[in-house]
Amino acid sequence: MKGDYQDLVDEISALLGAPATLENRDFRLIAFGAHDSDDDLAMDPVRTRSILTRQSTAAVRSWFEGFGIARATGPVRIPAAPDAGVFRGRVCLPVRYRGIVQGYVWLLDQEPGPDAAALAAAMEVAQRIGLLLAEEARAGADLSREFLAVLTAGRGWQQDMAVAALRVALGPGGEGPHAAVCVSPWPGEAPASVPGAAAVCVVPPRGAGAQEPRPGGGGPAGPSLAVLIRLRGTDPLAPALTAISRLMPGAAGGAGAVTGAGGLGSGSGPGGGKARTTPGGAKEGAPVHPTGSATGSATGMTAGVSDPVRALTGLPAAWQQATAAARAAAAGPRLGPVAQWSAIGPYRMLASVAEEALDDPVARALLGPANPELARTAEVFLDCAGQAGRAAAALGIHRQTLYYRLSRVEQLTGLDLDEGEDRLLLHMALKATRLHG
């Protein structure tokens, strides 16, 4: 295959009368033509580094992509920029297959430059290179790169291109409903295979060298494992449960330990409808306590499952849901270690509006290390919808003790727990602390 690329690069060099280099879409060198020129400018620092190290730096990549080469369908002329190490202008021939950029052929620009007929012939050769690159990607790719690109690409054309590339790589398997699963924190590399998975990748934590902003964010701590599940059959949840049981032995307990999974196919929304039985016989809508020696809680790992999406364009949003559910499972023991987005209640909103921990001044004193019992009392009281009898029973204390503690909460926070908005503010602050704790 490499010999085929070299022959095609040499063919382009002959057509245009200039040495050509071929890089893939990640700017990694694949093949290059012979350089026999005495012109010192023919081997500027950028081209020299590309050939010697077989790749370009992120800064060089960003600079060239700024000229629109990833979207171009024809040759692009790029001017010289000595400050950037580009002493000679370039002509870039985008290498595409079915509209998806697979790589780039680079030539040094020269006056008067190649004529239109020669460029057209060279673009035809570039199309043949694109076919080879696409076939090679399909033959040997595990789709982790394409899947990761969809989850980490910025909005707009970058995300559109990433989704299109994943769709081509998936082929017919790209049609139909999918769900995203997030397992976090994930140590090490992605597993070689996961039952029912169409693609698997490890998503680095925010700020860990990612080149683009990550719309979905990371899990509770460290890298997260992302799994793209193809949903099939009468019980769409089954493939996700199978995958989770493989990734977190004991976490699914063989009984589908996913809270509120009705949203994956039963048509019931959060809290809607009756609990139904999962494939292993457990009732959904209530926590399942898994058995086994390597549970998610024992390892600190939690998992989140998104609602199904009908089109691959919905994957970034599905990943946001899955990461929010994984974070909620870590924050709320009654939810986890595996939770579905539609069943995590207020954490759905908190995960989307609060990227960092909330630090409202009225709750700061209550949330300090000196008052853990008061914070717990307030949270249980609010979880019980302000019903004193239920809260006292849940806490195992007398009603008068509850009332005393609540009065202390009001003194510390300055809130009036008879007011709905004050209750809402305190409840959000307490839940957000769990989410980001």
DSSP 92-144: EEEEEETTEEEEEEEEE--SS---HHHHHHHHHHHHHHHHHHHHHHHHH--SH
Domain endpoint, select from 140, 175, 204: 140
Residues 44 and 31: their CA atoms lie apart, in Å, by 18
Which of 158, 139, 128 shows the shortest CA–CA distance to 65?
A: 158
Residues 304 and 339: their CA atoms lie apart, in Å, by 5
Residues 124 and 271 placed together within one structural domain of the fold: no
Residues 325 and 210 placed together within one structural domain of the fold: yes
Residues 63 and 158 placed together within one structural domain of the fold: no
pLDDT for 139: 54
Mean pLDDT by 10 residues, the chain (437 residues): 78 90 86 62 58 68 88 90 76 91 88 84 94 71 83 86 88 80 87 77 68 39 84 66 71 43 33 31 30 43 89 91 88 80 82 60 75 87 90 92 91 88 82 69
The answer to pTM > 0.75 is no
Which residues, in sequence order, are CB contacts of 152 under 8 Å at separation 6+?
A: 203, 210, 211, 212, 213, 214, 215
Helix (H) or strand (E) holding 20: strand 20-24
What length is written for the chain? 437
pLDDT for 12: 93
Residues 336 and 374 placed together within one structural domain of the fold: no
Q: Are 307 and 263 in contact (CB under 8 A)?
A: yes
CATH, residue 373: 1.10.10.2840
What tokens were used for 28?
A: 């990694």
Residues 324 and 188 placed together within one structural domain of the fold: yes
Domain endpoint, select from 302, 322, 353: 353
Burial profile 308-323: b = 16 or more Cβ within 10 angstroms, e = fewer: bbeebebbbebbbbbb
Q: How do beta strands 178-184 and 90-97 pair? A: unpaired
CATH, residue 104: 3.30.450.40
Which domain does 54 fall in, by range? 2-140
Q: Are 394 and 382 in contact (CB under 8 A)?
A: no
Whether omega for the bond prior to residue 204 falls within 30 degrees of 0, making it cis, is no
Q: Are 102 and 134 in contact (CB under 8 A)?
A: yes
Residues 262 and 187 placed together within one structural domain of the fold: yes
What do you get for the CA distance between the two ends of the chain, in Å?
A: 51
pLDDT for 431: 76
pLDDT for 124: 95
Which of 51, 41, 47 shows the shortest CA–CA distance to 111?
A: 41
Residues 271 and 388 placed together within one structural domain of the fold: no
Q: Are 229 and 256 in contact (CB under 8 A)?
A: no
pLDDT for 336: 73
Instruction: Specify the number of domains making up the chain.
Output: 3
Residues 38 and 176 placed together within one structural domain of the fold: no
Distances (CA, A) of 239 to 105, 122, 231, 234: 42, 47, 7, 11
Q: Which residues pair with 55 in a beta bridge?
A: 28
Q: Are 305 and 298 in contact (CB under 8 A)?
A: no
Residues 19 and 123 placed together within one structural domain of the fold: yes
- CA angle at residue 129 from 128 to 133, to 5 degrees? 120
Residues 340 and 400 placed together within one structural domain of the fold: no
What tokens were used for 163?
A: 């989704």
Domain endpoint, select from 106, 140, 174: 140
Residues 33 and 57 placed together within one structural domain of the fold: yes
Residues 338 and 221 placed together within one structural domain of the fold: yes
Strand order in the sheet with 197-203: 197-203, 224-230, 178-184, 302-305, 338-340
